Structure 1
Amino acid sequence: MKIFSSQHEFGYSWEQVSAANWKKYPNEMSSHVVAVDVLRREIDPKSGVLRTERLITCQQAIPKWILALVGGSNISYVREVSEVDPQSKTLTLRSVNLTMNTLLSVYETVVYSPNPQNPMASTLFNQEARITAYASFKRICNKIEDWSVERFNQNAKLGKAGFDSVLNKIYEKVQEGVFREEHAKL
């Protein structure tokens, strides 16, 4: 098993980041994500936590040697379950691959929370993925895990850049709307 972890700070409030999360895909940087379907959404009446289950469809450039070993396709599916907790101000996303999970399992957890140093204007992003390959030979497992960690790292960088772009576009639209409202009053 290999572990990938990443931390980042977004220059937006937790409220802005958690609202923009639903508009994260599609974006120009994460072109491997081709569809996002909401399977279930509910609010816990006692805690106010919003739980959402989504199916994410990805199209990956999988090395031919892996496809030759196991067959399959470059289309993969990921199940994501998210919880937005307005009381603790956390957005937690947990995902697991559904495709080729007998060869490779990837359990990812992402948590967005207000930056304690600047909670009104900054959100912390913490990501961890546990990547485990299953094969008869340890050497093959290591090779698959190493490739997967590298791919995960590349996609994480693209995902961060794409989400930054989405946040920026939303913020620009909000500012534009505020600007129009102020000038309409004049």
Structure 2
Amino acid sequence: MVKYFQGQSVLRSSWDQVFAAFWQRYPNPYSKHVLTEDIVHRATVSCQCCSLSVHPGGFYRGPTNQTMATFTWNINHARLMVVEERCVYRVNSDNSGWTEIRREAWVSSSLFGVSRALQEFGLAWFKSNVTKTMKGFEYIFAKLKGEAPPQTLVETAKEAKEKAKETALAATEKAKEAATKMQQQQFV
């Protein structure tokens, strides 16, 4: 049995920008578990069709119709489970300045006795990584535009923790001041 996922995302950037960012998406501060991707096969094809046929381990780009298709899979932990992903990047039909990503994924495991649990885990893991990938694209777009990249979740959490410490210290000081005033009023 195989778990299947299908979804669509929209990046509010042009296809050319997405195509350029695709090659710079790692390292990604949101997906630190991926250091890089290896290209097994790459080709540019002229195709008038609506969808591109993707060779396993491949990457195809249709330059005239601004379509890019990728097929990726995990190398690590492949004995436990395999996660295969096919993405088709193309100009969004509602807004030509945006890019849509149609994503399909297949999660499989042949580990006897726990394959179903591993497939469920793998699908949940995959979905969480889609979110991280999209945040990574936003991070790259900001860098390419010369803007400050959005903060990562870790940076946001650190900032919130610092603010909480500052607030707690300020509250402690105010409480001490109030206690001192009350003490002084009692002795007067």
TM-score tier, shorter chain, comes to 0.5 to 0.7
* Corresponding position of 1:133: 109
* Corresponding position of 1:142: 116
Alpha-carbon contact 2:71-2:87 (below 8 Å) kept: yes
Identity across matched positions, percent: 27
Q: TM-score, normalised on structure 1?
A: 0.66
Task: Flag structure 2 segments of 5+ consecutive residues without an equivalent.
Answer: 48-54, 148-188
Q: What pairs up with 1:1-186 in 2 under 5 angstroms?
A: 1-38=2-39, 41=42, 43=44, 47=46, 80-119=57-96, 121-137=97-113, 140-172=114-146
Radius of gyration: which is bigger?
Answer: 2
CA-CA distance at 1:164 after TM superposition: 1.3
Higher RCO structure, 1 or 2 (CA under 8 Å, sep 6+): 1
What is the SS of the residue equivalent to 1:6?
strand
Computed over aligned residues only, the root mean square deviation of the Cα atoms, in angstroms, reads: 2.4
Shift in alpha-carbon separation, 1:32–1:101, aligned structure 2, 3 A: closer
Q: TM-score, normalised on structure 2?
A: 0.65
Cα separation, 2, equivalents of 1:110 and 1:157: 14
Task: Flag structure 1 segments of 5+ consecutive residues without an equivalent.
Answer: 54-78, 174-186
Shift in alpha-carbon separation, 1:37–1:101, aligned structure 2, 3 A: closer
What is the SS of the residue equivalent to 1:35?
coil
Shift in alpha-carbon separation, 1:113–1:98, aligned structure 2, 3 A: same
Alignment coverage as a number of residue pairs: 139
Moved over 6 A (4+): none
* Corresponding position of 2:158: none
Alpha-carbon contact 2:43-2:60 (below 8 Å) kept: no
CA-CA distance at 1:157 after TM superposition: 0.8
